[in-house]
Structure 1
Amino acid sequence: MSIIIDNEYNNYFIGDTEVRDLLTREGERNLEGLPNQEIDLKNLEKRIEAHSFVKEADVFRGLDGDIHVSVKQNRPIARIIRSSEDVYLDAEGNVLPLSDRYTARVIPITKSANIKSLDKGFFQDSAGQAYLSLLQFIENDQFWKAQLAQMHIDGKGKISFLPQVGEHTIEFGKPTELETKFKKLMVFYKEVLPVMGWDKYKRVNVEYEDQIICE
């Protein structure tokens, strides 16, 4: 078997060994040497796609007679902190379990007790889609992905961030006007902090139109 695992986002939730185990039922059904008619390629694809961190799989027989397997992994973009057990959130708003094999470097999210559970339903309803769009924005921006260390959703649905660098809290408000708010926040980092000092402010608020409030 020839196995190719797409690591486009540097995720390593599944490896060749796990794929082989899925294909052979952990060694109980060896595929090598079996006649073509006894190998159900679609069934093999379904087995691999049953893995939590597999987004899609393609299994086919090449001209060389070998079975070729191509695997695309799910892409976590956040880690939801829960009292019971943390979970990942992928780019489509699906909830994924943690993995013993690999830990993704993504932004952790906490919430107020007044907010309903941050499960799959939250991020896929009409209101939750805005929060998912915010997380996608952060994941796709190299600077903000590195700078934002934690996200919190308060009882009113407003967002705040703790940064990697600096002692301030970023008060973002509701997940609207994303580009405008991040542009204002960039002004704070490029023009205010270098002049006033990184320890000058304890909070910066970009929630309101045409304002940056620093205290």
Structure 2
Amino acid sequence: MIFPRIPYTRLAWLLFLFIVGMIWLIARNRKASTFAEGLQVKVTALAGGDKLISEGDVRQALTKSFGNDLENSELGSLDVERMERVLEMDPFIKNADAYIDQNNQLHIVVEQREPLLRVLDNQGNNYYLDATGKKMPPSKNFAARVIVATGNVAPFTPEFREKRKNSLKDLYNITQTLLADDFLKSFIQQIHVTNTSEFILVPLIGDQKIILGSARKLEDKLKRLKIFYQQGMPYEGWTKYETINLKYTGQVVCKR
């Protein structure tokens, strides 16, 4: 029987690929049995430099879920994807990246959730909403400088933004609109919800109460408010009026 001859160049390539594969397999197994040389944790600060969760908090969460010896564990036993999933269950963490560098250091990089609004309602609840509507507890490390909502606020539910009529949904939308305006986001410090579900804005400067009424025609009401403050207030003075009412179409009604 005559066997087909394999060209020399093809045989050389097959031998080369086999050797490369063996080297890669040996290197991978050796890497997996190597121990981690250290743990580096970084929490990316919020826009204002704040950290609602610290590097120590992240280390504590990892220790609780994976034990005390992460820094001395074999690299092959470190499940970085599971670490990311565990950390992302924390209400302060938006995203977590875990990886091992070429020096066998385990790195954890955490992106925080950005608080949008703080709620202090009549029922004694105290929490934040982030930019996506997720609920966050108060931080033991820092109080975020955000607009505060008080009064008769509807209870939080995960689907509150999908409800047709809901004061928490209106608060969320009002806050987003205020923060989108450079003047208003630095001017309004509080939104109060009355027992009749109307909204009152409290400015940072002056003692006025700005009666917004409902959240309908919000852009028009805030446009009138800006014009009044930018064109009328410099002449009238910041302390002249007790209330500024925006409920009536096309008007700004002030009372001393």
Asked if structure 1 preserves the Cα contact closer than 8 Å seen for 2:120 and 2:126, the reply is yes
Counterpart CA distance in 2 for 1:23 and 1:118 is 29
* 1:32 counterpart SS class: helix
Counterpart CA distance in 2 for 1:191 and 1:22 is 53
Asked if structure 2 preserves the Cα contact closer than 8 Å seen for 1:80 and 1:118, the reply is no
Deviations 1:70-124 (A, max 9, x none): 2111111111113434111222222211121111111211223xx6424544444
Asked if structure 1 preserves the Cα contact closer than 8 Å seen for 2:149 and 2:171, the reply is no
Structure (1 or 2) with the greater helix fraction: 2
Deviations 1:148-200 (A, max 9, x none): 12211223332111111112110112223333222211111111111112222
* 2:110 counterpart SS class: strand
Structure with greater Cα Rg: 2
Asked if structure 1 preserves the Cα contact closer than 8 Å seen for 2:244 and 2:252, the reply is yes
Could you say if the C-alpha distance between residues 149 and 63 of structure 1 is closer, same or farther in structure 2, counting changes exceeding 3 Å?
Answer: same
Could you say if the C-alpha distance between residues 94 and 107 of structure 1 is closer, same or farther in structure 2, counting changes exceeding 3 Å?
Answer: same
2:164 paired with 1:126: yes
Measured on the aligned residues, the alpha-carbon RMSD in Å equals 2.3
Could you say if the C-alpha distance between residues 87 and 8 of structure 1 is closer, same or farther in structure 2, counting changes exceeding 3 Å?
Answer: closer
* 2:62 counterpart SS class: helix
- Per the alignment, residue 45 of structure 2 pairs with 7
- Per the alignment, residue 81 of structure 2 pairs with 42
The one-letter amino acid of 1:213's match is V
- Per the alignment, residue 30 of structure 2 pairs with none
2:148 paired with 1:75: no
The one-letter amino acid of 1:153's match is V
Counterpart CA distance in 1 for 2:115 and 2:44 is 14
Deviation at 1:44, TM superposition (A): 0.9
The normalised TM-score by structure 2 is 0.74
Could you say if the C-alpha distance between residues 194 and 57 of structure 1 is closer, same or farther in structure 2, counting changes exceeding 3 Å?
Answer: same
Q: Report which stretch shifted further, 53-62 or 133-142.
A: 133-142
The normalised TM-score by structure 1 is 0.87
2:141 paired with 1:101: yes
Q: Which blocks of at least 5 consecutive residues in structure 1 are unaligned? A: none
2:240 paired with 1:200: yes
Deviation at 1:30, TM superposition (A): 1.5
Deviation at 1:144, TM superposition (A): 2.1
Could you say if the C-alpha distance between residues 135 and 120 of structure 1 is closer, same or farther in structure 2, counting changes exceeding 3 Å?
Answer: farther
- Correspondence for 1:180 among 220, 224, 231: 220
Counterpart CA distance in 2 for 1:136 and 1:144 is 11
Could you say if the C-alpha distance between residues 211 and 175 of structure 1 is closer, same or farther in structure 2, counting changes exceeding 3 Å?
Answer: same
* 2:71 counterpart SS class: coil
The answer to which structure, 1 or 2, has the higher relative contact order (CA under 8 A, 6+ apart) is: 1
* 1:59 counterpart SS class: strand
- Per the alignment, residue 210 of structure 1 pairs with 250
* 2:200 counterpart SS class: strand
Asked if structure 1 preserves the Cα contact closer than 8 Å seen for 2:114 and 2:130, the reply is yes
The one-letter amino acid of 1:6's match is T
Could you say if the C-alpha distance between residues 75 and 126 of structure 1 is closer, same or farther in structure 2, counting changes exceeding 3 Å?
Answer: farther
- Per the alignment, residue 52 of structure 1 pairs with 91
Counterpart CA distance in 1 for 2:118 and 2:236 is 33
Asked if structure 1 preserves the Cα contact closer than 8 Å seen for 2:199 and 2:212, the reply is yes
Asked if structure 2 preserves the Cα contact closer than 8 Å seen for 1:20 and 1:26, the reply is no
Counterpart CA distance in 2 for 1:124 and 1:15 is 33
Q: Report which stretch shifted further, 176-185 or 159-168.
A: 176-185
Counterpart CA distance in 2 for 1:84 and 1:199 is 32
